[in-house]
């Protein structure tokens, strides 16, 4: 009879632990694969009913205009309605928060702009974090602001405006759509970089702020190129400078702020699309790729350029990097300007 050595009790116990660990690892791997398969299946069938895009701003502004544009492109390509719902008010916070708390199933998205990046520092406490509670989808576009003045002011350049403001400290006013808005902080950046004492006159909406300049009640403002272009061309406003790094082909005679003597100044507007954190990557990628194809169409590019804006369609990773940079940049402007919520 041949005798075989039996494993020691400790060896048998170690073997059982190893088998259990292997089985546990296999179960985790199968679970992960199942989750991936479920996400892929969900994306393949998505969307099966209308998708809501919340615009937490007023109707007729850049976010609303380009939010509706991207909704149209997604509707045309994906076979379901992408419905824009305007939820303006309180600096965009309630509308943005509604999406942060929405189910991450791809059926609720949000349009954002510089405003939300500014809010991260402007508000002492937000009910959400832009960088933590959302998944970047794509940057829709970028557009410059324009420094405009009332023609009745009799000023034709940034240099003349700076000289007049320094001669009359505290006497010149600028309007905006409210404290902490991109238009307000664009002006505060100018005010700080040019060492000026000019007074902020906040209004409830961009249209009201624009009307004040058109009527000569306020001397100047920073406003988006798409919304001021017609008034500038009609001579109802005078464009002194573009806030982007390059001149606009729509206003080729209007210099950039940098060319006008405010070295290093840049304050473009942008519109982007976010989903709640946890939205399946396959759905996010499908929205982004569909949006990017729409934004690359020749007719869409021509239409955007005619309005003074540049279509982008960046990847989620690229847009995420933009968000990080914008939160940091405008956070610095908020702090040194002392801007506060109305």
Overall residue count recorded for the chain in this entry: 342
> Domains in the chain, start-ordered, CATH in brackets?
49-143+269-337 (3.40.190.150), 145-242 (3.40.190.10)
pLDDT, position 35: 44
This prediction's pTM = 0.80
pLDDT, position 227: 87
User: Where would I find the H helices in the chain?
Assistant: 9-45, 62-78, 93-100, 114-122, 158-167, 182-193, 206-214, 225-233, 281-295, 298-306, 316-337
pLDDT tens, position by position, 140-169: 999 999 999 999 999 999 999 999 999 999
> Which residue positions in the chain have pLDDT lower than 70?
1-44, 342
pLDDT, position 23: 52
pLDDT, position 1: 40
pLDDT, position 17: 54
pLDDT, position 255: 98
pLDDT, position 61: 81
Residue 84: phi and psi, rounded to 5, are -85, 130
* DSSP category for residue 7: P
pLDDT tens, position by position, 26-53: 445 444 444 444 444 455 689 999 999 9
Cα–Cα nearest to 45, from 292, 280, 294: 280
pLDDT, position 20: 58
């Amino acid at each position: 009879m041949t005798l075989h050595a039996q494993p020691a009790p400790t060896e048998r116990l170690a073997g059982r632990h190893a088998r259990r660990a292997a089985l546990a690892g296999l179960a985790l791997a199968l679970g992960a694969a199942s989750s991936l398969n479920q996400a892929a299946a969900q994306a393949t069938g998505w969307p099966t009913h209308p998708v809501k895009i919340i615009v937490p701003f007023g109707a007729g502004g850049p976010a609303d205009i380009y939010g509706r544009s991207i909704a149209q492109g997604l509707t045309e390509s994906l076979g379901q309605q992408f419905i824009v719902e305007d939820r303006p008010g309180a600096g965009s916070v309630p509308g943005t928060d509604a999406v942060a708390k929405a189910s991450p199933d791809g059926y609720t998205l949000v349009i954002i702009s510089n405003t939300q990046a500014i809010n991260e520092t402007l508000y002492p406490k937000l009910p959400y974090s832009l960088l933590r509670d959302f998944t970047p989808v794509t940057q829709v576009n970028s557009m410059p602001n324009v420094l405009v003045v009332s023609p009745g002011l009799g000023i034709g350049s940034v240099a003349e405006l700076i000289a007049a403001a320094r001669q009359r400290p505290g006497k010149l006013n600028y309007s905006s759509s409210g404290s902490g808005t991109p238009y307000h902080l664009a002006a505060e950046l100018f005010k700080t970089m040019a060492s000026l004492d000019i007074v902020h006159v906040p209004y409830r909406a961009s249209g009201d702020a624009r009307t004040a300049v058109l009527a000569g009640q306020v001397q100047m403002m920073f406003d988006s190129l798409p919304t001021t272009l017609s008034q500038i061309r009609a001579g109802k406003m005078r464009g002194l400078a573009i806030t982007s790094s390059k001149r606009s082909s729509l206003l080729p005679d209007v210099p950039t702020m940098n060319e006008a003597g405010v070295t290093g100044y840049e304050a473009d507007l942008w519109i982007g699309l976010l989903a709640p954190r946890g939205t399946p990557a396959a759905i996010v990628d499908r929205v982004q790729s569909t949006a990017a194809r729409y934004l690359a169409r020749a007719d869409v590019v021509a239409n955007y350029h005619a309005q003074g804006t540049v279509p982008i369609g960046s990847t989620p990773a690229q847009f995420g990097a933009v968000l990080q940079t914008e939160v940091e940049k405008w956070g610095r402007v908020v702090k040194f300007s002392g801007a506060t919520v109305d």
